Amino acid sequence: MKTFSPTKSTLSSPKQPSHVSAEAWSTRIAERYHVRLTAELVDWFDNGLWQLEGFGEYREPIPPADLIEKFPEAIWPGLMPPDFLPVLGNMAGDWLCMRLGPHGKIAEIVQWYHGGGDWLPWGNSLAEAIAFDAASQRLPGPSRRHAIPAEPTRGADAAGDDPLLNWAIHQFPAAIASQVRRVIGGDLQGEELAKELIRSNVAEIAVQSEWVQRLLADPELLKLDSDRDAPERWGVSRNVFNQWLFDIERAPESVRSSLLGTAANKQHWRAAAEHCRRVVEIAPHLAWGWDILGYEAERSGRYAEAAKFFASGLSRSVFTDQSIRLRTHWTAPLAGKFSAARLRAMIEAGQVTKSELTAQIDDSYLDALCAGEDERQELVTEYWLGRSDRSSLAGNFSAAFDEAYAAGWDLGAATLPAYGSVLDRLVELAKDMGDEARAELARTHRHCLRDRLGI
């Protein structure tokens, strides 16, 4: 569900109350959420970095006093996954969040977009995320954002004075800190900058995302993407037009030459797929890498391979598919996920058979994803809740937790009350696993939902 917005939201971080001491904030947060903060996050909270404002898009830290409240303002209950705890905001409602893994471990730092709930890892550490923010406008991607930043992002001449960036660079191992500073503060652009960031172990997944976008989105295609009247001029729906822009070879040949002109043959699918092979290797929990791998194989006629990729990505959350940036959203009328729509299309075309997919996917799950737009979210939620019930009865609480999580954040729940019941279930399952951290964070999201929306 990518359209829900809570009635009460935070568009900028609240100011720190003057009567609250900053001493040992890391201990208070660790005790509040039973979380194991990394050394850099301990430094962030205990040495007052959160009191500073940076120059990047994500420039305004959340005061720790706000994080330990019963109802943290930065949490968007329902739309925001229940293992996310925001840390740094962009003053427009989007956040860099800690994503909590099992038993209090910080799994990664993710960029979460409030307008649709999409999220993307920006690094294994907050330092990586801040460094990526500093370099992102010079990467090879189309420099698109889901929303227009509230203020202009950092200029190159300001990078050296940014207190948050300076702190971030000092968090890298001494052997590469100077290299990171050189890369971030230098004049490198495009692919050369991307290569250096990856070589320096800075936010590889986010860097690869920008690179793949550039390989598939020529600047001339971007101009067409922003032309609202173009579909009408060509007598097609916006959805058909989006399909053409996703893969220009899907447009009729007579249209391609006149509509796309010199943009023709400037999409590099094979190269994009090679980047996505690396993405699914290091981040198999994200949908977009599997989607691009599957489609590149499908358009090349390697149908068995395509089906394998799509099946691998089928159960990944729709909030990790980067569908707007990669334009895979043209299949939305057909299925809740791009992978489901393409699998169904290949089955109907006889390119693969259901029997070939039996070991990889559950027919009932695929059917739920391909149901009508008015019912698919509810069907998917019911599917995952049923699986969670069975796993719980079998004593497999870890699987039951993951399945209950998917009930809310695979395709998104159909109603706000459904999020309430899913969060209640997650709290209990986390307690059954002895995972106090995920239980407490899910409980906090639940409290926020009740406090703000009365659910």
CA distance 257 to 238: 19
Is residue 427 a contact partner of residue 446, using CB atoms and an 8 Å limit? yes
> Which backbone phi and psi does 61 adopt, to 5 degrees?
-70, 155
Question: 254 or 328: which carries more pLDDT confidence?
Answer: 328
Of 375, 300, 286, 298, which Cα lies nearest the Cα of 341? 298
The token duo for 362 is 């559950």
Write the DSSP symbol of residue 328: G
Band of residue 13 on the pLDDT scale cut at 50, 70, 90:
very low
Other residues' Cβ atoms within 10 Å of the Cβ of residue 362:
14
**Looking at 216-220, 278-282, 410-414, which range is the least confident one?**
216-220
Mean pLDDT of 155-176: 81
Calculate the average pLDDT of the chain: 89
Q: What is the pTM of this model?
A: 0.91
pLDDT at residue 260 in the model: 63
Sequence-separated (6 or more) residues with CB below 8 Å from residue 32: 67, 68, 440
Mean pLDDT of 416-436: 97
Mean pLDDT of 156-169: 79
CA distance 101 to 183: 30
Band of residue 160 on the pLDDT scale cut at 50, 70, 90:
low
pLDDT at residue 143 in the model: 52
First to last CA, the chain: 18
Of 305, 318, 312, which Cα lies nearest the Cα of 279? 312
What sign results for the dihedral spanned by CA atoms 434, 438, 442, 447? positive
CA atoms within 13 A on the CB side of 158: 14
CA distance 151 to 162: 16
pLDDT at residue 23 in the model: 58
Is residue 131 a contact partner of residue 96, using CB atoms and an 8 Å limit? no
Question: 201 or 142: which carries more pLDDT confidence?
Answer: 201
Mean pLDDT of 158-168: 84
CA distance 438 to 278: 29
Query: Which residue type sits at 135?
Result: A
Band of residue 138 on the pLDDT scale cut at 50, 70, 90:
very high
List pLDDT tens digits, range 116-133.
Answer: 999 999 999 999 999 999
Band of residue 259 on the pLDDT scale cut at 50, 70, 90:
low
Mean pLDDT of 54-75: 96
**Looking at 108-117, 225-234, 346-355, which range is the least confident one?**
225-234
DSSP H stretches of helix in 91-142: 126-135
pLDDT above 50: residue 154: no
Query: Which residue type sits at 311?
Result: A
Compute the 3-state secondary structure of the chain and give helix, strand, coil in percent, each to the nearest 5. 60, 5, 35
pLDDT above 60: residue 286: yes
Mean pLDDT of 187-207: 95
CA distance 126 to 54: 13
